Amino acid sequence: TIDTTTHQRPADKLGQIGVTAKSVIAVGSGKGGVGKSTMAAAIAFGLHNAGCKVGLMDADVYGPSVPHLLGVNERPTAVNQRLQPIERSGLRVMSMGFMVPAEEAVVWRGPMLHGAVTQMLRDTDWGDLDYLIIDMPPGTGDIALTLSQLIPLTGAVVVCTPQDVALLDAVKAINMFRKVKIPLLGVVENMSSFICPGCSERHDIFGTGGAKRKAEAMDVPFLGDAPINVDLRKRGDDGQMAGLYDDPAIAAPLMEITRGMV
């Protein structure tokens, strides 16, 4: 069982493991496929564009997608037994995906995974960071819960889509972070609408506004929403997330979300 009464202050814990970051922010979700990794990368680049030193750690042990999203094919090297994060357009990136071959399913048991993630955090030479953004495993199962407690988090962002079922999962994620006493920085509604590139009409494919209402009801800040955007999906598929903010249509909603965090 997890002791939720002794949540050590993040700065103390960070110091103990040799990581110097002013804030360590988890990006979580109630379930997979809602765009958690996409939003984690977007937030990381957004904060970098705002002039901050940012690391992005992909702790999504089930499907580490950050290397793919950012088009990182190389593997980190070690200097003096410390892993050197991969530099991508100013971000310092580490991923569970660097540790296991892409096609191989992760079949480790929970404790091994917890160990691997915390070791990756500790053994990486992050340098001085303003923000370390952590792409968490989706869901609220044992792995996500335990990692939320093991990683010295300053706060958490929950990503969800506007559908009712997705919102139920988001509520579970909010409650999970509350259980381990991690402050909620806010909720992001992803895939909130679709603006037709042909007729400019807005279509609320999965509904809209649900996450905002739910966030208000739960007394959690609402950071903003990101519409379904085909170019954003293509960027992810092509490993071109680094240039995300060059596209004004994609950048505008994402900047709004990031603004709520700095």
Q: Which residues are annotated as a binding site for ATP?
A: 30-37
48 is an interface residue for ligand ADP by CB under 6 A: no
Q: How far is the CB of 13 from ligand ADP (least distance, A)?
A: 26
65 is an interface residue for ligand ADP by CB under 6 A: yes
Interacting residue with ligand ADP among 229, 244, 254, 258 (CB under 6 A): 229
Distances (CA, A) of 145 to 101, 162, 192: 25, 23, 27
152 is an interface residue for ligand ADP by CB under 6 A: no
> Which of these segments, 30-38, 73-81, 180-188, 214-222, binds ligand ADP (CB under 6 A)?
30-38
Name which of 93 and 226 has its Cβ closer to ligand ADP: 226
> Which of these segments, 111-119, 179-187, 217-225, 228-236, binds ligand ADP (CB under 6 A)?
228-236
Please report, as a single letter, which amino acid is at residue 55.
G
State the Cα–Cα distance between residues 260 and 262, nearest whole angstrom.
Answer: 6
Burial class of residue 138, CB neighbours in 10 A (0-12, 13-18, 19+):
buried
Name which of 85 and 139 has its Cβ closer to ligand ADP: 139
Q: From 166, 202, 201, select the one nearest 187 (Cα to Cα).
A: 166
State the Cα–Cα distance between residues 28 and 35, nearest whole angstrom.
Answer: 10
The kind and range of the H/E element at 220 are none
Q: How far is the CB of 246 from ligand ADP (least distance, A)?
A: 16
Q: What's 10's DSSP letter?
A: H
Contact present, 27 and 157 (Cβ < 8 Å): yes
Residues in the chain: 262
Name which of 10 and 236 has its Cβ closer to ligand ADP: 236
Name which of 10 and 162 has its Cβ closer to ligand ADP: 162
Contact present, 226 and 189 (Cβ < 8 Å): yes
190 is an interface residue for ligand ADP by CB under 6 A: yes
203 is an interface residue for ligand ADP by CB under 6 A: no
180 C-beta neighbours (distance < 10 Å), count: 18
Q: What's 247's DSSP letter?
A: S
Please report, as a single letter, which amino acid is at residue 194.
F
| Per rule CB under 6 A, count of chain residues that contact ligand ADP | 18
State the Cα–Cα distance between residues 145 and 17, nearest whole angstrom.
Answer: 20
33 is an interface residue for ligand ADP by CB under 6 A: yes
32 is an interface residue for ligand ADP by CB under 6 A: yes
Question: Using CB under 6 A as the criterion, what x/- string covers residues 87-126 for binding ligand ADP?
Answer: ----------------------------------------
243 is an interface residue for ligand ADP by CB under 6 A: no
What is the binding site for ligand ADP (CB under 6 A)?
29, 32-38, 65, 138, 190-191, 226, 228-229, 232-233, 236
